[in-house]
Amino acid sequence: MGDILGYARVSTSDQDVAGQTMRLNQAAAIKVFTDVRSGRTMDRPGLDALLAYARKGDTLAVVRLDRLGRTLGELLATVAMLKDRGIAMLSLEEKIDTASAAGELVFHVFGAIAHFERRLIAERTKDGIAAARARGKHPGRRPLDADKIAAALKLVKAGLSPTAAAKQLGLGRSTVYREVSRAGIDRPPQAT
């Protein structure tokens, strides 16, 4: 029988992996690998180190499935890769252990339910937007005021910083910078 290797991930440096690490140690993890990375990126040095360390027969343990992947596709790909390497996956919160046939089935059922839920949300959103349009509403951002953009560009050409032009006209700073870039306006270097 192999070892249990823990994986803990938090999204920002404001968060702490201590709670996850404690639970993984209580679940008999001999070593816990950590990442402070958003779930949006698959660049996870801690997970890579765990996978390099793991041997056939080991179990990768997480507190919750969302620590391992954000999407059903990511989770299924990760579990398939682990299975190919002879490594099981254990999720403490969802009580899933892919070392058993029943645990693997439960994982796939959870995955299918999560996929179904995301599809329902997408359909409801689409229906809500269609209903709003039928009532004459236009969901989403309002179009930019062309006159304000033109005025901002004139101010920047006259030597005002994009930040100051944005503030003066009530526009977003990033909007003015984007439009200045699109217009190809050369700005003098900012004083430091």
- Active-site residue numbers? 11
Q: H helices of 72-141, where?
A: 72-84, 101-134
CA-closest candidate to residue 60, choices 18, 15, 92:
92
Burial per residue of 54-76, b for 16 or more beta-carbon CB atoms within 10 angstroms, e otherwise? beeebbbbbbebbbbbeebeebe
Q: What's the CA gap between 97 and 122, in Å, rounded?
A: 30
CA-closest candidate to residue 3, choices 51, 86, 60:
60
